[in-house]
Chain A
Amino acid sequence: MATALMNDTKTPAMDRNGALIRTVNVFKNFELPDGNGIFTVLENINLTVKPGEIVALLGRSGSGKSTLLRILAGLIPASSGDVFSSGRRVTGPNPDVTMVFQSFALLPWLTVQQNVELGLEALGVPLKERQARALKAIDMVGLDGFESAYPKELSGGMRQRVGFARAFVKQPKVLFMDEPFSALDVLTAENLRGEISDLWEKGDFPAQSVLIVTHNIEEAVYLADRVIILGANPGRVRGEVTIDLPRPRDRSARRFKELVDGIYIAMTNPDRDVTAAMAGVLPRRETPYPPLPHATVGGISGLLELLNERPELRDLPEISSTLQLATDDLLPIVDAAVMLGLAEVRQGDITLTDNGRAFATADIQTSKDIFRAQLLERVPMVKMIYNTLQAKPNGSMRAGFFLDILDEHFPREEAQHQFETAVDWGRYAELFEYDRGEDRLLLPVEASELTD
């Protein structure tokens, strides 16, 4: 029955590329009213969904992502181009997929059980079997006990669980999700997202692949193996990011944040090439110069002195309120202190190291000595600058030289910031001087004497 609805019944059930879903040059236009020409919603879309992967279609409003999903589902026709599902051209509702809707699309007059059974009923599955299968799907989404409830008795999160159960029960090849969590409150969405992710990781997910449409970057990075970034007006594929994070995924992992930041930069700069925008992140290289937190020496020593004077003060949020500093302003200072080996952070509590305590209690010259030793030992960027100047006979070098080096590892503006922080730290430690007029770095006189 399923094949009778498809045009190309002769083509094999498998795409020659092994793809479950494949589009070839798909365009979608709408005619503007009153014959004012046409409006292009989607432009030349080529993409594939392979078995065993979760693909996210990420785009802002106007990128036509939901339209694209509906074209792939065979709910609306493309203006030109082809969609293939398991190698067969899609000409009507795609039997290989089921969809989870943003608005749940439950029938309010049917019970949970009846809603879930709906798709099976359409297939002509006998009563007993469809009851059993529906029960299993309801159990899978954690709704057992609610079979005879009506949707209006359920919370939003539970309703979307019914939506998932209804999609699961047909065991589609590809599960489509159209912004499935965006109608839920933040906590509920987070919870449900986690459970869907767990189901996928357990390996008995009721679909081979998932295609999710979302505008939420974190959601895409959290769930997907590949993120396809769509541009807007007209909607088009701007690029693709492979999410190489191990599952289960940890949002607090640095790599996770880097990917989110990279995609964010790509999304907020519609004119930039995605690959270039992700360059700071992808492919991942060990940078020889770990980025410096943007903290001034004054800030660092202020924090250390406070910690020394009031040892009971450990909790970071408490410190930020004591200092009347926003958390965003405090964190770089803490990071810097940690980087320099002057403090340690464990579970949100900060404590001084021995060096840190010495730094905070000593006179200014001893403090500078400690700071210098830590810099040379723990901050490769400053060490590199110092070594370069040492190697020069005149002990002096253009600032541009160092900026060029940093440019290879940081975006342009960030390189500038990094350089400024390095100079601030190095000057305090009396490792080098900076001549703003000449825009040069040079070894301090005393230091050169010391080395002599």
Chain B
Amino acid sequence: MIRLTFPTRETLRRLPFTAADVAITIGALALIVLIAYVGSTALVPFQPPDVLPEPISLDIVHLPYYLARSTLRMFIALFFSLLFTFTYGYVAAHSPRAERVLIPLLDVLQSVPVLGFLSVTIAFFIALFRGSLLGLEAASIFAIFTSQVWNMTFSFYHSLRTIPREQQEMARMFRLSRWQYFTKVEAPNSMIGLTWNTMMSFGGGWFFVAASEAISVLNQDYRLPGIGAYVTEAVDQQNVGALIAAIVAMAIMIVLVDQLVWRPLIAWSQKFRNEQSEAGETPTSWLLNLWRAARLPSLIGEALRPASEFVNRALSGTLAPKPAQMAKPRAAAPAWMDWIYNGLLIALLVAGAVVLIRFILSEVGLPEVVNTFVLGLITMARVAALTAIGTLIWAPIGVAVGFNPRLARLIQPLAQFMSAFPANFLFPFVTVALIATGISLNVGSILLMSLGAQWYILFNVIAGAQTIPSDLREMAANMGLCGWKLWRRLIIPGIFSAWVTGGITASGGAWNASIVAEVVSWGDTTLTATGLGAYIANATAVGDWPRIALGVGMMALFVVALNRLFWRRLYVLAESKYVL
């Protein structure tokens, strides 16, 4: 007989608490303390222009604190984004009448450049929270929120509208209450898409947290303690060391959040996969494994069971009238109600148009509108160039990576990391290079905008290439297809819909980035490019409200029009013709 020196897994299980429990408990407590400390410091007095917060210190010792403040902002914004997503998406999916307004509105809202109306919201929130930094805090959080929320909401709404028919029938057959239907059917069905979109949104949010912490409105510089303000300060002082420190800190934070939040969530959400068979390769997370090995969570869960049971029953009781009638065709309300409703909508639209036209004619004048339109065309050319160049560079690389599973496992997380990394941290280096070489920002801004945007093309193309079935690739090799013929017949159709997704995201990101990429500075040197982004940035700096509104409106118009006329059509083509 072999004597066991180490306890077996089974005996370890029998211990009341395992090492995993200790780790989980310590981790949770540490997190709570940290949040409480960082959160409490947000309540400092602030009465511009007399009482201003302490200036940002470039001492590296303060960097972790700034980073923690920025991260806290991100999570607060995430919380509100989720709250908004669940209510807005739920209402839109369940009320046909609300849907008719909410979904087009969402479409427009997601096209509005977030950074453009940051100045408007800052003024509003400062007025709301007089005498405290909370106003700036709220404005920054609001900026992050608006950058995160739209595609989360779309994802949730889409999941609710595509719940498998047999699950709907089963739920009605067994007469689940609305609450039960939400918790047992709707929320689980939306979980995979929502987790993924939340992760992507959160990654994109870093860009906006950095941009919104330091902003000039009405010739007044506002700085919130945070890593974005730190970077801005470093640029002002031309401190390259501090810049590099910020970049490293940011990279560590992105990896940390990924490991502690997103990996576990993604791995956990796999249980909501709607296919009945085990997926080939499922994402894993060491933290989730630790959590599952620990006994404490399940013990607490068991202890709370009666309470959750009580809550469930109470909510089921109050929300019982899950439609007892037959499934009616959607929008079966009397026709006259629809007439009134549609009439109201049309009246609102007409009123809005009148206000808009009066505003344009009285405040800015028609020539200014034409001017912004031309500027919009210039910025659009930059976005188009960026998308084209990004595609030419990254599509072949992405396909090569996607066809090689081992390489893909390595590169894919890297591409996602790069897309989450706030590109504005890298702007100063490019700015220095531009100043040194004397290249105009009119060209250089394309590079700046693509620093953040191009990665969406890369990792979507990788994902697209991975979905091309290997038997089709073998067939192509067997037929002797190679070079351009292979691309034309197999690869381009195969990656097309993934590329469209990447392209939309990249160009949307680039429009937003243009506001910070068409005006850059290094120390006292400021470079300005001709374009709509620079127009908005300059209007914001001097607090010219009509021009801010005009610029933002024009940009939103461009984005909506491009989405409708260009990307939407490609999408339809991808869905109908190139679906694998």
Binding site for B on A (CB under 8 A): 5, 70, 73-77, 91-93, 95, 97-99, 101, 103-110, 118-119, 121-124, 127, 150-153, 159, 166, 170
> In the complex the two chains form, what is the Cα distance from A108 to B184 in whole Å?
10
> In the complex the two chains form, what is the Cα distance from A150 to B188 in whole Å?
14
Find out whether the CB atom of B324 lies under 8 angstroms from the CB atom of A92: yes
Q: Which residues of A contact B313 (CB under 8 A)?
A: 124
| Stretch of B113-121, B170-178, B482-490, B499-507 contacting A (4+ beta carbons < 8 Å) | B170-178
> In the complex the two chains form, what is the Cα distance from A446 to B305 in whole Å?
98
Chain A to chain B contacts (Cβ below 8 Å), 9 pairs: A73-B173, A91-B325, A101-B169, A103-B166, A107-B184, A108-B275, A122-B175, A152-B273, A152-B275
Given A92-B325, A124-B313, check contact A150 B174 (CB 8 Å).
no
Between A and B, how many residue pairs show CB distances below 8 Å?
A: 89
Find out whether the CB atom of A91 lies under 8 angstroms from the CB atom of B174: no
> In the complex the two chains form, what is the Cα distance from A122 to B174 in whole Å?
7
A89 to B: closest C-beta gap in Å = 12
Find out whether the CB atom of B327 lies under 8 angstroms from the CB atom of A76: yes
Find out whether the CB atom of B166 lies under 8 angstroms from the CB atom of A150: no
B278 to A: closest C-beta gap in Å = 5
> In the complex the two chains form, what is the Cα distance from A109 to B175 in whole Å?
19
> In the complex the two chains form, what is the Cα distance from A159 to B185 in whole Å?
18
Q: Which residues of B contact A75 (CB under 8 A)?
A: 169, 172-173, 326-327
For A122, give its contact among B176, B275, B276, B324 (CB under 8 Å): B176
Q: Which 4 pairs, one residue from A and one from B, show the smallest C-beta to C-beta distance?
A: A77-B326, A119-B174, A105-B166, A92-B324
Find out whether the CB atom of A108 lies under 8 angstroms from the CB atom of B276: yes
Find out whether the CB atom of B174 lies under 8 angstroms from the CB atom of A118: yes
> In the complex the two chains form, what is the Cα distance from A153 to B279 in whole Å?
11
Find out whether the CB atom of B326 lies under 8 angstroms from the CB atom of A91: yes
> In the complex the two chains form, what is the Cα distance from A108 to B277 in whole Å?
9
Given A93-B173, A170-B174, check contact A124 B188 (CB 8 Å).
no
Find out whether the CB atom of B317 lies under 8 angstroms from the CB atom of A93: no
A134 to B: closest C-beta gap in Å = 13
Q: Does B17 contact A (CB under 8 A)?
A: no
A169 to B: closest C-beta gap in Å = 10
- Which residues of chain B in 267-317 are interfacial with respect to chain A, using CB atoms and an 8 Å cutoff? 271-278, 305-306, 309, 312-313, 316-317
Q: Which residues of B contact A73 (CB under 8 A)?
A: 173
Find out whether the CB atom of A150 lies under 8 angstroms from the CB atom of B271: yes
Q: Which residues of B contact A101 (CB under 8 A)?
A: 166, 169-170
Q: Which residues of B contact A151 (CB under 8 A)?
A: 276
> In the complex the two chains form, what is the Cα distance from A127 to B312 in whole Å?
11
> In the complex the two chains form, what is the Cα distance from A47 to B177 in whole Å?
31
A127 to chain B: closest residue by CB: B309
B326 to chain A: closest residue by CB: A77
Binding site for A on B (CB under 8 A): 166-167, 169-170, 172-177, 180, 184-185, 188, 271-278, 305-306, 309, 312-313, 316-317, 323-328
Find out whether the CB atom of B324 lies under 8 angstroms from the CB atom of A107: no
A103 to B: closest C-beta gap in Å = 5
Main secondary structure of the interface of A (DSSP, over half): loop
Find out whether the CB atom of B184 lies under 8 angstroms from the CB atom of A93: no
Q: Which residues of B contact A98 (CB under 8 A)?
A: 173-174
> In the complex the two chains form, what is the Cα distance from A75 to B325 in whole Å?
8
> In the complex the two chains form, what is the Cα distance from A227 to B278 in whole Å?
39
Q: Which residues of B contact A104 (CB under 8 A)?
A: 276
Q: Which residues of B contact A77 (CB under 8 A)?
A: 326, 328
Q: Which residues of B contact A70 (CB under 8 A)?
A: 169
> In the complex the two chains form, what is the Cα distance from A74 to B176 in whole Å?
15
Q: Which among A93, A101, A151 has the highest number of chain B CB atoms within 10 Å?
A: A93
B84 to A: closest C-beta gap in Å = 24
A32 to B: closest C-beta gap in Å = 14
Q: Which residues of A contact B177 (CB under 8 A)?
A: 122
B307 to A: closest C-beta gap in Å = 12
> In the complex the two chains form, what is the Cα distance from A107 to B169 in whole Å?
12
Q: Which residues of B contact A105 (CB under 8 A)?
A: 166-167, 169-170
Find out whether the CB atom of B316 lies under 8 angstroms from the CB atom of A124: yes
> In the complex the two chains form, what is the Cα distance from A124 to B174 in whole Å?
12
Q: Which residues of B contact A108 (CB under 8 A)?
A: 271-276
Find out whether the CB atom of A99 lies under 8 angstroms from the CB atom of B327: no
> In the complex the two chains form, what is the Cα distance from A110 to B276 in whole Å?
12
Q: Which residues of B contact A97 (CB under 8 A)?
A: 173
A70 to chain B: closest residue by CB: B169
B418 to A: closest C-beta gap in Å = 33
A160 to B: closest C-beta gap in Å = 11
B13 to A: closest C-beta gap in Å = 16
For A124, give its contact among B170, B278, B317 (CB under 8 Å): B317
B273 to chain A: closest residue by CB: A108
Q: Which residues of A contact B317 (CB under 8 A)?
A: 124
> In the complex the two chains form, what is the Cα distance from A70 to B166 in whole Å?
11
User: A70-B169, A101-B169, A109-B188 provided; 15 other pairs, C-beta below 8 A?
Assistant: A5-B324, A92-B323, A93-B172, A93-B324, A95-B175, A99-B169, A99-B170, A103-B166, A108-B276, A123-B175, A124-B316, A127-B306, A152-B273, A152-B275, A166-B174
For A76, give its contact among B170, B309, B326 (CB under 8 Å): B326
> In the complex the two chains form, what is the Cα distance from A150 to B174 in whole Å?
20
A91 to B: closest C-beta gap in Å = 7
For B180, give its contact among A91, A121, A150 (CB under 8 Å): A121
Find out whether the CB atom of A110 lies under 8 angstroms from the CB atom of B175: no
A26 to B: closest C-beta gap in Å = 13
B261 to A: closest C-beta gap in Å = 21
A277 to B: closest C-beta gap in Å = 34
Q: Which residues of B contact A110 (CB under 8 A)?
A: 184
For B326, give its contact among A92, A109, A124 (CB under 8 Å): A92
Find out whether the CB atom of A159 lies under 8 angstroms from the CB atom of B276: yes
A85 to B: closest C-beta gap in Å = 13
Given A73-B173, A93-B175, check contact A152 B277 (CB 8 Å).
yes
B180 to chain A: closest residue by CB: A122
Q: Which residues of A contact B325 (CB under 8 A)?
A: 91-92
> In the complex the two chains form, what is the Cα distance from A282 to B125 in whole Å?
85
Find out whether the CB atom of B327 lies under 8 angstroms from the CB atom of A109: no
> In the complex the two chains form, what is the Cα distance from A6 to B323 in whole Å?
13
> In the complex the two chains form, what is the Cα distance from A29 to B172 in whole Å?
22
Q: Which residues of A contact B305 (CB under 8 A)?
A: 127
